[in-house]
A = this chain, B = another copy of it.
Amino acid sequence: MVTIKDIAKATGVSPSTVSRVIADNPRISPDTKKKVRKAMKKLGYHPNIHARNLVAKSTKAIGVILPSSADKALQNPFFPEVLRGIGSVTHKEQYTMMLSSGQTEEEILAEVERMVYGSYVDGMILLYSRMNDPVTQFLREREFPFVIVGKPYENISETTHVDNDNFSAGKEITEHLIEQGHKKIAFIGGARDLFVTVDREEGYKAALDEAGLENKEAYQIHTEFLKSGGREAVESLLALETPPTAIVISDDLISLGVLSMLEDSGLHVPKDISLVSFNNVYLSEITRPALTTIDIQIYELGAQSAKALIEKTVNKKEPAKRIIIPHNVIYRESVSEYKSE
């Protein structure tokens, strides 16, 4: 391993000079800078982060916390995509990205504690948001920089987060359905304890209200992201005496399941029933018909969160921010006009 001393010896200057060259200290003569840099390249010098961090107190690393991996939601293509977004800026800023999952909430908390106490990272990005989350609490108490992707449950105004305007998104997409003549519109969402779901649903309701449409309780169902649980719910929805002619679904992944079920029951999308959803994950292009969905710019969600976090870590007094990533409707083939009989 080639150290600062080695290159000091090689160039005949002192270690501190080399250190200053690395930091690009303006008080070093251009000549020696050039000389030193040449030697660094020639000998293949690379700074040792541990030594550097030990003294500098900054790790140039951020931690990314995934939801507990017991959570099937992890399978959502959402995550690789945020990770990509985060990675793009950490890379550009020469930051390092530490990933932490954990099967249970306790495991996650333990990892987070280790990371902050052991000074592994300068800040954290939470890829989930839960009520009474011990991790969030811990971070807040220690005043450790963090940002949430999504909507915080508590202290919203004091915690910087990057999110979509899910209410508006829900409203817009529902309005699109209404414009197409639909009047009986259902909503299928994931677990109700997620803000995303709730917000999107509120938007859906608001659109119905504004259009003077009936807001039927029976039209709103909540089901697990994946798997069978939802089957019965959807079936009962279709068995209603006046079944919906269109459905707003809170996540592309759920749409996939619903789509299959529908076709299974002999209902064709969009001929017999229309479908819209959210996220614009690659899946939504592959399905037949391709899904009309809201693009929430997942990549950008990640990139912006990383940017905000890094800002926060370099300037501890950076105020809490709320960053809203714009969304837009991607029109594809899962919606058709409804002609009232």
Contact surface of A with B, Cβ cutoff 8 Å:
1, 44, 46-51, 53-54, 59, 61, 64, 69, 72, 74-75, 77, 79-81, 83-84, 87-88, 91, 94, 96-103, 107, 111, 113-115, 117-120, 226-227, 253, 256-257, 259-261, 263-264, 281-283, 285-288
**Which 10 A-B residue pairings sit nearest by Cβ, starting from the closest?**
A260-B288, A46-B117, A87-B101, A50-B50, A50-B53, A50-B54, A257-B286, A99-B99, A264-B288, A69-B84
Query: 13 A-B Cβ contacts within 8 A?
Result: A44-B117, A46-B117, A50-B54, A75-B282, A77-B77, A84-B101, A88-B101, A94-B114, A99-B99, A227-B285, A256-B287, A261-B288, A283-B283
**Chain B contacts of A84 at CB under 8 A?**
69, 74, 101
**Chain B contacts of A88 at CB under 8 A?**
69, 101, 103
Provide the bound-state CA to CA distance between A148 and B101, in Å.
Answer: 21
**Chain B contacts of A83 at CB under 8 A?**
99, 101
**Chain B contacts of A253 at CB under 8 A?**
286
Q: How far is the CB of A226 from chain B (nearest CB, A)?
A: 6
Contact B69 A282 (CB under 8 A): no
- Contact A75 to B69, CB < 8 A, known contacts A49-B120, A257-B286, A263-B288: no
Contact B102 A91 (CB under 8 A): yes
Residue from the list B77, B115, B287 in contact with A260, Cβ < 8 A: B287
Q: How many copies does the complex hold?
A: 2
Provide the bound-state CA to CA distance between A249 and B83, in Å.
Answer: 28
Majority SS of interface residues in chain A?
Answer: helix
**Chain B contacts of A227 at CB under 8 A?**
285-286
Contact A87 B102 (CB under 8 A): yes
**Chain B contacts of A1 at CB under 8 A?**
119
**Chain B contacts of A256 at CB under 8 A?**
283, 286-287
**Chain B contacts of A102 at CB under 8 A?**
87, 91
- Contact A81 to B87, CB < 8 A, known contacts A50-B50, A98-B99: no
